[in-house]
């Protein structure tokens, strides 16, 4: 018998063969595009640390949503930049604030996109924390009522899913109850269930003007050293009524995505966050990486780890590349 006996390379000879045996697929429909909506009209300001991503007024953001739909992308997640901030973040649940108006606009335009809203207070509070601050600490239970108000205002505007990203204990249950009591039992909850206290949110905080003005978020976001704790967080969110659970960030936490995928039967999302996008963009700008190859490899890896869909700033570019491949 000639050596070697086993030849795995036989399945790599042509693209047609590779396609037949490929284990993981990546499609535009499994991507969600994050957008930042600001007050005013005709506004489109590029975010310096997120090249190609903009703070946009509702009119411009709606135009981009039409393109996003054309590209076959599954949905959008909306973040708001309010006209003013206060201690409690009251613009977060205002019916006439940018996110609420944007949701209404997308609904009126009848776009075939899943409309997801981020539910948090950090963009809306003067101190930049994700909840109400009492004696220098974020008060969990006082924050729950406000988050439930925010989620309700998004549901009233027409959101398909609300996505709490604050990491308060019990917020999924509080939101579920509020939605159900007001006739929004059909609105889903995408829980940022395992959200780590990560350095990779820094460009987002520039984009959303949401950096904490004192201290940090270690008192509520998860310790990057912990994986078992992620399973506990996910279990609690599912028990409280989460329809989809999310791991965030994605690339430093592929092991957590896999563990969650294996342990639970609900859909799993992963957030390929701002700092992960910025790293790729910076290397590409230096000529050190080929952007298309790098991005499609990274997104495929997140899917292979077990994510059903991915929130990514690369959604539009990736969708175009996937269609031309």
Cβ 274 to ligand PBG shortest distance, Å:
3
| Cα gap 94→270, rounded to integer Å | 28
Crossing angle of helices 291-305 and 254-263, in 10° steps, is 30
The catalytic residue among 101, 129, 195, 303 is 195
Which token pair is 113? 């996109």
In terms of CB distance, is 114 or 208 closer to ligand PBG?
Answer: 208
Backbone angles phi, psi at 169, to 5 degrees: -75, 130
Contact 162, 117 (CB under 8 A): yes
Indicate the residue whose CB is closest to ligand PBG.
Answer: 204
In terms of CB distance, is 60 or 171 closer to ligand PBG?
Answer: 171
Cβ 8 to ligand PBG shortest distance, Å:
38
Region for residue 89 given its phi and psi (left: phi exceeds 0; alpha: psi -120 to 50; beta: otherwise): left
The reply to whether 85 belongs to the active site is: no
Contact 272, 317 (CB under 8 A): no
Beta bridge partners of 34: 77
DSSP string, 275-303: HHHHHHHHHHHTT-S-HHHHHHHHHHHHH
Q: Which stretches of the chain bind ligand PBG, using CB under 6 A?
A: 118, 120, 122, 130, 165, 201, 204-205, 210, 273-274
Which token pair is 101? 């108006």
Region for residue 20 given its phi and psi (left: phi exceeds 0; alpha: psi -120 to 50; beta: otherwise): alpha
In terms of CB distance, is 178 or 272 closer to ligand PBG?
Answer: 272
In terms of CB distance, is 118 or 160 closer to ligand PBG?
Answer: 118
In terms of CB distance, is 240 or 276 closer to ligand PBG?
Answer: 276
Look at the block and give the residue holding tokens 């996937």. 322
Cβ 111 to ligand PBG shortest distance, Å:
22
The catalytic residue among 85, 91, 101, 248 is 248
Cβ 82 to ligand PBG shortest distance, Å:
13
Cβ 21 to ligand PBG shortest distance, Å:
34
C-alpha dihedral (236, 240, 243, 244), degrees to nearest 10: -30
Region for residue 53 given its phi and psi (left: phi exceeds 0; alpha: psi -120 to 50; beta: otherwise): beta
Cβ 2 to ligand PBG shortest distance, Å:
53
In terms of CB distance, is 106 or 246 closer to ligand PBG?
Answer: 246
Among 69, 1, 2, 64, which Cα is nearest to 29's?
A: 69
Catalytic residues: 195, 248
């Amino acid at each position: 018998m000639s050596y070697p006996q086993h030849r795995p390379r036989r399945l790599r000879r042509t693209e047609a063969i590779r396609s037949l045996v490929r284990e993981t697929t990546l499609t535009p429909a499994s991507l969600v595009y994050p957008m930042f909506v600001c007050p005013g009209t005709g506004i489109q300001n590029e975010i310096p640390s997120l090249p190609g991503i903009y703070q946009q007024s509702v009119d411009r953001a709606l135009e981009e949503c039409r393109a996003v739909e054309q590209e076959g992308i599954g949905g959008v997640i909306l973040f708001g930049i309010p006209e003013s901030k206060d201690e409690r973040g009251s613009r977060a649940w205002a019916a006439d604030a940018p996110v609420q108006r944007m949701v209404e606009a997308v609904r009126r335009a009848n776009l075939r996109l899943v409309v997801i809203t981020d539910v948090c207070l950090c963009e809306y509070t003067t101190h930049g924390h994700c909840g109400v601050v009492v004696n220098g600490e974020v008060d969990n239970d006082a924050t729950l009522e406000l988050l439930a108000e925010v989620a309700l205002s998004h549901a009233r505007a027409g959101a398909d899913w609300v996505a709490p990203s604050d990491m308060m204990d019990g917020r999924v249950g509080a939101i579920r109850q509020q939605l159900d009591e007001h006739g929004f039992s059909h609105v889903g909850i995408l829980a940022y269930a395992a959200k780590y206290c990560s350095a990779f949110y820094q460009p987002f905080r520039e984009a959303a003007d949401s950096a904490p003005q004192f201290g940090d978020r270690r008192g509520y976001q998860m310790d990057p050293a912990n994986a078992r704790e992620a399973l506990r967080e996910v279990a609690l969110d599912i028990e409280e009524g989460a329809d989809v659970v999310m791991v965030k960030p994605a690339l430093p936490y592929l092991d957590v995505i896999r563990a969650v995928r294996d342990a639970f039967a609900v859909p799993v999302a992963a957030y390929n966050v701002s700092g992960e996008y910025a790293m790729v963009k910076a290397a590409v700008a230096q000529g050190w990486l080929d952007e298309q190859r790098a991005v499609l490899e990274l997104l495929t890896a997140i899917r292979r780890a077990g994510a059903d869909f991915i929130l990514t700033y690369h959604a539009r570019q990736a969708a175009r590349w996937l269609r031309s491949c």
